Chains A and B, each alone.
Chain A
Amino acid sequence: DAKTTQPDSMESTEGETVHLPCSHATISGNEYIYWYRQVPLQGPEYVTHGLQQNTTNSMAFLAIASDRKSSTLILPHVSLRDAAVYHCILKRGGSAKLIFGEGTKLTVSS
């Protein structure tokens, strides 16, 4: 599976809109872009996923570049509860395998 590159950490303030970047220059046509987040002492939580089109749900907006070589997870109006490590993961369609990278540690201050 292709690899992703994310910044190690990002800082934000409550109420801000946060843009978390992910680079996946060698993504294959059948690889989906998944985002999970994890806080200490809990299991990872699904945030969103997409293939080509931008997607939105109650948690976040996923913007996917037209060439699919990068994506951005947009968190509107972050709160302290959004502080977590955010993982951008590529997962092949039809495959069950889900491999985590190091992710971006998002810090939210009040």
Chain B
Amino acid sequence: DTTVKQNPRYKLARVGKPVNLICSQTMNHDTMYWYQKKPNQAPKLLLFYYDKILNREADTFEKFQSSRPNNSFCSLYIGSAGLEYSAMYLCASSRVDTEVFFGKGTRLTVV
């Protein structure tokens, strides 16, 4: 099974409320990623885990949290959603120096 699963596919959140997105893979990949994708823009890397080590991009450092309780699961947490967080959130996984597999994404709408 070479799929990356994301739940839910669609999520509606209120401004100021927390949001938690879930991702899983069963390919025993050491790296898991989270990207943010807005219309007509390239996917933007937010953070990635290499094994248990979290690497966050500089401009997303305080906006997004993440956890990886085991090799298969990874979550993305937004403590207080703002309108600007409305986007598609893509989870991906890989082994180093191999192709990166992407999930179908979670479309988050903040109102």
Contacts of A41 in B (CB 8 A): 88, 105, 107
Stretch from A9-17, A43-51, A67-75 at the B interface = A43-51
Contacts of B35 in A (CB 8 A): 100
Measured CA separation A98–B90 after assembly (Å): 13
Interface size of A by CB at 8 A reads: 23
Contacts of B92 in A (CB 8 A): 43-44, 98
Contacts of B105 in A (CB 8 A): 41-43
Main secondary structure on chain B at its contact with chain A? strand
Q: Is the CB of B50 within 8 A of A96?
A: yes
Measured CA separation A46–B107 after assembly (Å): 21
Q: How large is the interface on B (under 10, 10 to 19, 20 to 34, 35 or more residues)?
A: 20 to 34
The verdict on A43 contacting B102 (CB below 8 Å), with A97-B45, A98-B33 known, is yes
The verdict on A93 contacting B42 (CB below 8 Å), with A42-B105, A44-B90, A45-B102 known, is no
Within 8 A of B (CB), among A2-41: 32, 34, 36, 38, 41
| B94 nearest CB across to chain A (Å) | 7
| B98 nearest CB across to chain A (Å) | 9
Closest partner residue, chain A, to B53 (CB atom): A96
Within 8 A of A (CB), among B29-53: 31, 33, 35, 41-45, 48, 50
B84 within 8 A of A: no
Contact with A along B68-97 (1 / 0, CB 8 A): 000000000000000000001010101011
Q: Is the CB of B45 within 8 A of A43?
A: no
Q: Is the CB of B96 within 8 A of A43?
A: no
Closest partner residue, chain A, to B103 (CB atom): A43
B64 within 8 A of A: no
